[in-house]
Amino acid sequence: MRLSPQIQVAMLEKAENQTLLDGLTARQNVLPERAELQELRKKHSRQASEAARSKLSASDIGRDIAKLESDINKLKAREKADRLSLGAAEDASTRRDLEHDLRSTKRRRERAEQELQQYERMQEAYQVDAEHEYDADEAHDDIVAAKQRLNDAEVDLIARISIAETRIEEADKLIDGSAAKLYRRLALANGIPVARLNGRTCGSCFMELDVGTVHEFTTLAPEEVTFCPECGAMIVRAETLGAVKGK
């Protein structure tokens, strides 16, 4: 089979740009910048939830602290009243009752004060967590920057896709008739229908061809169409490429 070097090169350019286009299109959905943005959103959402829980816990503890403080003030007032009553009491039985109540009230106050200190430390810890775990302004800036990186990557990708599509359209203008039928048949049979010969390696299946086959290729005219004996892809030889470049 014979095809002009120009048509063979057009078929090669279409295949190479189609392979590039397929890769670029697939990459649109797996851009690392997109994954980075999604991960940032998850991270900040998690931190915001944790901060909200910390604030809620601090608020709950705040109510417990207020109740303890109120209880302590009441116990202090009771201690004061017992001491005043002791100073005025003359009856031994009354004094025993007051002394017992004073000791009991003092123990309750001391326990309440210890509990209050624990709650205050817990509240402080929750407040620190809420302040340090999530910074809304920082989160916003991080996400805006990540969106910009994704946008830049998408703009670059779209531009490269457009270039590949344009080159395919330009190549198609030269590929008609039997060449178009051949290309369609090869495209159905091979992932890469038309490829270069890189040294002795087929650019479609990446198998190394034997020396005899490669030597035979070099003896053929640029118009002769050759195929890889391993995968059946059309091979555009250096001689064919040189014939086009030389014009």
Instruction: Count the alpha carbons within 13 Å of 138 in the hemisphere toward its beta carbon.
Output: 9
CA Rg, the chain, in Å? 42
Question: Distance (Å, rounded) from C-alpha 92 to C-alpha 148?
Answer: 85
Listed ranges 48-57, 98-107, 124-133, 156-165; the one with the highest mean pLDDT: 156-165
Lowest mean pLDDT among 44-48, 108-112, 172-176: 44-48
What's the rounded mean pLDDT across residues 113-141?
76
Q: What is the mean pLDDT of residues 160-187?
A: 95
Q: Could you tell me the CA-to-CA distances from 221 to 24, 184, 218 in Å, in that order? A: 35, 24, 8
pLDDT at 134 over 60: no
Mean pLDDT, range 187-205, rounded to an integer: 93
- Give mean pLDDT, residues 90-95: 84
CB atoms within 10 A of CB 234: 25
- What CA dihedral angle connects 2, 8, 12 and 15, to 10 degrees? -70
Residue among 13, 9, 19, 20 nearest 237 (CA): 9
Q: How many CB atoms lie under 10 A from the CB of residue 68?
A: 18
**Would you call 136 exposed, middle or buried from its count of C-beta atoms within 10 A (0-12, 13-18, 19+)?**
exposed
How confident is the prediction for the chain on average, in pLDDT?
88
CB 207 within 8 A of CB 53: no
Tokens read off for 235? 């091979």
Is the model's pLDDT at 131 over the cut of 80? no
**Which pLDDT score, from 0 to 100, does residue 64 have?**
83
